[in-house]
A and B are shown apart, each in its own frame.
Chain A
Amino acid sequence: MKNSNKLKQTTDRIILFFIYLSAFATALILVSIIGYITYRGLYRESRINKEILESRNIEYEFDNEKYIFLVNKTLKRNSLNITELDQILEKGIKNWSSVSETRAKIKIISLFRKEKEINRTYDIRNISTAEEMIKIFKSEPGTIGIIPLSARGKINLKNLKILYLDKNCVAAGYKVTEIINNSRLAVLSEKDLVKITNGEVSNWKEVKGHDIPLEMLSTADQVAKSSGGFAVVDYRKAVESGVSIIPVSYVRKGANFTPGFLFDKPAKAGKAGGISTIIINTLFMIVLTLLFSVPVGVGAAVYLTEYAAAGKVLKIIRLGIETLAGIPSIIFGLFGFIFFVDILNMGIGLLSGSLTVAMMIIPVIIRTSEEALRSVPLSYREGSLALGAGLWYTIRKIVLPAAKPGILSGVILSIGRALGETAALVFTMGFDYRLANGIKSSARVLSVHLYQLVREGISFERAFATAFVLMCFIFIINTATIALVSGKTKYGEKQ
């Protein structure tokens, strides 16, 4: 008897522990989701692997002469790597937008006394005075000015900056990058690179490589012949000699979400720029959706609470609403795709998408509005009817105003659902991230944008920033709903 009691107590305790654990875990899940998205949304710490080191050299050597490159300060790049520079000089790249977030035509000018070898190789316009050069910089923001290193002091750098050049790489002996036991040294961290150049490393295994002695060398050709050699060499020479190049991973830290992200247009499939047009498209979608769904939803709720008499018809209507609420969004998407896009010939765009989402949120609006209408005291209706008012007049003047906070909170709740919808929108509203220019224009909304960024692997940083914005909206909506429900109406307390 005593034993069984003890056993019972133990089981009780285990069960109790489990209950508390579940409750705690539920809270923890939400907190972690919000915390993680906020953290990664605001702050980024990502690694980029680069074959060409960020060596930030200032001069460019051509034909045994040294030059520096000048650009406008407003340009969003501080450095170019050697291959990018070659492409620019050879006119493979004609606009900054392909290597930077700045949109400007690239124009190359130089300040040489006489025609040089470099002018003949590349199409470069010669400028005679420093003043003229500065004038061109002003009128053509995408200008690159090439001046000999020796002429550096002659130019006023007030609105200009030096464009640094990344041209070195890590060369390693042939054994270092060999695959042994399914593993190889694929990348070197920035820290390890510093360690090696400081001479603190004598074996490759100290930097996560194979067990090969590390030999400090100075040219690419030397490294190419060695088994465990190491040297920082000119990238072009390394490529020529065929030596193996080890990329270095750089850690990028800093703010991920910036105000600019909200106000800039997206560019390059979302890889660059912000989400301003996508936010506006989302607003368009929500306004249209509410336009279609609120009158129908509130109207239906008024009918159900104020007019409908119990019976078969009412049962069918209720079953219809419940069924509609349970249909998965992909089915709505399919239906929207055949019915609105195809049969009604609305095309993939705002109108089709909004109508599709409107169908999905009608049950939410009906349910919350009905609750709000039912909570309006019967005595209000009686008082009005006893004064000789009609039912519709009473509903309009007394019942609906009194139920307004509840109805509004339902509407806001349904905005939250519309905001998060993805599956139904992909094939009814489309992916275009430009600003919608009409009711039939394809338009990408926040959730679809997030989905695209992740699925196409475009940019996880941008995805986190987008998710952060989306979560902020959801949080605001949730808080507003609660504030409305627990708040007071204009005239007197909530009943």
Chain B
Amino acid sequence: MRDDIIKVEKLDLFYSEFQALHNINLTIPENKITAFIGPSGCGKSTFLKTLNRMNDLVEGCSITGGVLYRGNDIYREEDVFTLRKNIGMVFQKPNPFPMSIFDNIAYGPRVHGIASKNVLHEIVEKCLRDVALWEEVKDRLHKPALSLSGGQQQRLCIGRVLAVESEVILFDEPTSALDPVSTSKIEDLLDKLKKKYTIIIVTHNMQQAARISDRTAFFLHGRIEEYDDTEKIFLNPENKTTEEYISGRFG
């Protein structure tokens, strides 16, 4: 058996009265890419947010069951901030802060108490190299991040997560707002990153899931219909609806 970094047990999620997730059970392996697929409104993004408690921000949202990160229930932990540092998140639309490129990367380390200029410089350079942005922006580190192109902005946002030394990175449809060239750059990047990080990605694009992920979970109506190795899901699904979805018959 491989090492499981996250384990979800009997998770139900409610928005006030409405139940959005039903009895989710799954484990996420370390240093692998896990993809969540499914039609819009199936609960895959909602589920992603439960993994670093970003759903705390949604009013009226409550859960039962447990999410274990390295064996600890994250909903019992008081320190949501350290949790979010360990489990980082990249959003659908690139959301760089309205500050310079440098300050964007340095923001996370500063949040967690690093103030030394030299250390910050090292971190910024390393992270920008990791996301293959360094060569493109090294001469204009102090220019506004919003002046970058969409694809660059998204790589910057990934770099921002790397800077806080996360172990797990959640990607919520990270390429849906990008052009094909930028998309393939991000996909290459994800492939490189999985050596050091555990990656969980929500995607609408089934080819993308097939191309880059090791494990795939298929969500429907707030339930996991099927969860297995990506190859198995795409070539030989057990479940009939999974097959129908993957072959493009609905969704």
A touches B (Cβ under 8 A): yes
Binding site for B on A (CB under 8 A): 309-310, 377, 379-390, 393, 397-398, 401-402, 489-493
Residues of B within 8 A of A379 (CB): 91, 93, 95
**Chain A residue at minimum C-beta to C-beta distance from B101:** A491
User: B159-178 interface mask toward A, CB cutoff 8 Å, 1 = contact, 0 = none?
Assistant: 01100100000000000000
User: B144: CB under 8 A from chain A?
Assistant: yes
Check if A491 sits within 8 Å of B99, measured CB to CB. Answer: yes
User: B89: CB under 8 A from chain A?
Assistant: yes
| With A492-B144, A492-B147: A387-B98 Cβ-Cβ less than 8 Å | no
List 7 A–B pairs whose Cβ atoms lie within 8 Å, in order of A's numbering. A310-B59, A381-B57, A385-B54, A385-B84, A388-B85, A389-B107, A398-B98
Residues of A within 8 A of B161 (CB): 386-387
Tally the A-B contacts, defined by beta carbons under 8 Å: 81
Check if A491 sits within 8 Å of B82, measured CB to CB. Answer: no
Binding site for A on B (CB under 8 A): 52, 54, 57, 59, 81-85, 88-89, 91, 93, 95-100, 107-108, 111-112, 144-147, 157, 160-161, 164
Other-chain residue from B93, B96, B107 in contact with A397 (beta carbon distance below 8 A): B107
**Chain A residue at minimum C-beta to C-beta distance from B54:** A386
Other-chain residue from A309, A382, A388, A493 in contact with B95 (beta carbon distance below 8 A): A382
Other-chain residue from A309, A382, A388, A489 in contact with B111 (beta carbon distance below 8 A): A388
Residues of B within 8 A of A489 (CB): 98
Residues of A within 8 A of B112 (CB): 388
Closest Cβ of chain B: how far from A215's Cβ, in Å? 88
The complex places the Cα of A296 from the Cα of B11 at a distance, in Å, of: 43
The complex places the Cα of A382 from the Cα of B49 at a distance, in Å, of: 11
Check if A388 sits within 8 Å of B98, measured CB to CB. Answer: no
Closest Cβ of chain B: how far from A220's Cβ, in Å? 85
Check if A387 sits within 8 Å of B85, measured CB to CB. Answer: yes
Check if A382 sits within 8 Å of B97, measured CB to CB. Answer: no
Other-chain residue from A390, A397, A491 in contact with B81 (beta carbon distance below 8 A): A390
Check if B146 sits within 8 Å of A389, measured CB to CB. Answer: no
The complex places the Cα of A29 from the Cα of B247 at a distance, in Å, of: 70
Residues of A within 8 A of B82 (CB): 388
**Chain B residue at minimum C-beta to C-beta distance from A387:** B108
The complex places the Cα of A221 from the Cα of B111 at a distance, in Å, of: 99
The complex places the Cα of A383 from the Cα of B161 at a distance, in Å, of: 9
Check if B88 sits within 8 Å of A491, measured CB to CB. Answer: no
Residues of B within 8 A of A402 (CB): 97-98
Check if B91 sits within 8 Å of A492, measured CB to CB. Answer: no
Residues of B within 8 A of A493 (CB): 146
Residues of A within 8 A of B88 (CB): 386-387
The complex places the Cα of A387 from the Cα of B165 at a distance, in Å, of: 10
Check if A382 sits within 8 Å of B54, measured CB to CB. Answer: yes
Check if B93 sits within 8 Å of A387, measured CB to CB. Answer: no
**Chain B residue at minimum C-beta to C-beta distance from A398:** B97
| With A491-B144, A491-B145: A384-B107 Cβ-Cβ less than 8 Å | yes
**Chain A residue at minimum C-beta to C-beta distance from B52:** A386
Residues of A within 8 A of B57 (CB): 381-382, 385
The complex places the Cα of A402 from the Cα of B96 at a distance, in Å, of: 12
**Chain B residue at minimum C-beta to C-beta distance from A376:** B98
Closest Cβ of chain A: how far from B144's Cβ, in Å? 4
Check if B111 sits within 8 Å of A387, measured CB to CB. Answer: yes
Pick the most buried of A388, A389, A401: most chain B CB atoms within 10 A of its CB. Answer: A388
The complex places the Cα of A105 from the Cα of B92 at a distance, in Å, of: 82
Pick the most buried of A309, A379, A386, A491: most chain B CB atoms within 10 A of its CB. Answer: A386
**Chain A residue at minimum C-beta to C-beta distance from B164:** A387
The complex places the Cα of A309 from the Cα of B57 at a distance, in Å, of: 12
Closest Cβ of chain A: how far from B152's Cβ, in Å? 13
Check if A387 sits within 8 Å of B84, measured CB to CB. Answer: yes
Other-chain residue from A309, A384, A385 in contact with B97 (beta carbon distance below 8 A): A384
Closest Cβ of chain A: how far from B157's Cβ, in Å? 7
Other-chain residue from B91, B144, B147 in contact with A383 (beta carbon distance below 8 A): B91
Check if A393 sits within 8 Å of B95, measured CB to CB. Answer: no
Check if A492 sits within 8 Å of B146, measured CB to CB. Answer: yes
Closest Cβ of chain A: how far from B188's Cβ, in Å? 23
Other-chain residue from B52, B96, B98 in contact with A401 (beta carbon distance below 8 A): B98
| With A390-B81, A491-B98: A383-B111 Cβ-Cβ less than 8 Å | no
Residues of B within 8 A of A401 (CB): 98-99
Closest Cβ of chain B: how far from A75's Cβ, in Å? 62
Q: A387-B88, A388-B81, A492-B146 given. 19 additional CB < 8 A pairs?
A: A309-B59, A380-B98, A382-B54, A382-B57, A383-B160, A384-B97, A384-B111, A386-B89, A386-B91, A386-B161, A387-B107, A388-B83, A388-B84, A388-B164, A398-B97, A402-B98, A490-B98, A491-B99, A492-B98
Residues of A within 8 A of B100 (CB): 491
Closest A-B pairs by Cβ, 3 of them: A492-B146, A388-B85, A379-B95
The complex places the Cα of A489 from the Cα of B100 at a distance, in Å, of: 12
Residues of A within 8 A of B96 (CB): 383
The complex places the Cα of A397 from the Cα of B91 at a distance, in Å, of: 20
